[in-house]
């Protein structure tokens, strides 16, 4: 097989949770661009359907939007059944969904509400488990597949709170986020071991900070950029190559691994 062919996903079916989010959309675009039938899972039904229609038109590969609350096992089971009716197979699962935070929730550890910890765990960890249980089991029956859990550098190392000190919301990276992302590492290793003999691979993609112009002050950017060897935050498109690599045959002998794409943040 040629090197370019290793990255092709023609006629393969890729599930992306949290599909209409900042990175979710980019993951979907990347997979559709290499020929995959992308299934956009999100609680926002209209937006998921619109994204799927846009991908179908732009990349000439049939994509599907499905409204699904991944914290509800019955809804995930129904979504999996719909995918099987539509496409007859599952080749990749990207567990990308996460919770958002209101400003009043972003407080220090001493005041942090344990209910938010539980909510984050339910969405990011239980949600990933629910999806792996359904879609991963289907891959195991097929004898091949790739699960990619989206982690974060804050699941690998602690936040550097100095970069948030001058922000209007000081604790912009809540403890619940770090707990949930850390738990995904254990889940991924378990899946890699459990399904390895069935040909199902499970890996982590760990992005560093992503540039989102409407959310980040120049003061924050200056502090963050000074902490990164490459001197800047990532653009949302800079995870696309890694997603295609992990979902395609290009990473066929890679499982239980954590691909960190952070500009060197965790290197020092």
Which of the residues are catalytic?
A: 177
Task: Mention every residue, 6+ apart, whose C-beta is less than 8 A from residue 60.
Answer: none
Strand ranges (DSSP E) for 180-262? 200-207, 258-261
Provide the token pair at 229: 């060897």
Question: What is the dihedral sign for C-alpha 183, 244, 76, 207?
Answer: positive
Is residue 42 classed as helix, strand or coil in its secondary structure? strand
Give the CA distances from residue 17 to residues 96, 126, 149, 238, 253, in Å, rounded to whole numbers and listed in that order: 5, 13, 10, 19, 24
Provide the token pair at 78: 């129904």
CA end-to-end span of the chain: 38
Distance between CA atoms of residues 51 and 67, nearest Å? 12
């Amino acid at each position: 097989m040629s090197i370019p062919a290793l990255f092709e996903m023609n006629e393969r079916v890729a599930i992306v949770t949290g599909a209409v989010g900042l990175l979710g959309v980019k993951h979907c675009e990347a997979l559709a661009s290499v020929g995959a039938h992308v299934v956009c899972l999100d609680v926002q039904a209209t937006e998921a359907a619109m994204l799927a229609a846009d991908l179908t038109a732009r990349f000439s590969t049939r994509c599907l939007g499905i409204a699904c609350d991944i914290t509800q096992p019955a809804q995930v089971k129904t979504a999996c059944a719909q995918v099987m009716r539509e496409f007859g197979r599952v080749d990749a699962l990207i567990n990308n969904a996460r919770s958002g935070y209101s400003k009043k929730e972003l407080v220090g550890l001493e005041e942090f509400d344990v209910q938010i910890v539980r909510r984050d765990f339910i969405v990011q960890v239980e949600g990933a488990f629910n999806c792996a249980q359904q879609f991963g089991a289907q891959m195991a029956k097929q004898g091949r597949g790739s699960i990619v859990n989206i982690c974060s550098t804050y699941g690998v190392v602690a936040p550097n709170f100095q970069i948030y000190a001058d922000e209007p919301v000081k604790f912009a990276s809540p403890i619940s986020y770090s707990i949930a992302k850390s738990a995904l590492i254990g889940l991924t290793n378990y899946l890699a071991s459990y399904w390895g003999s069935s040909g199902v691979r499970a890996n982590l993609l760990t992005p560093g900070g992503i540039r989102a112009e409407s959310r980040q002050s120049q003061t924050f950017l200056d502090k963050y950029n000074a902490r990164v060897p490459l001197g800047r935050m990532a653009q949302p498109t800079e995870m696309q190559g890694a997603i295609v690599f992990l979902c395609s045959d290009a990473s066929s002998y890679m499982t239980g691994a954590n691909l960190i794409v952070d500009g060197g943040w965790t290197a020092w």
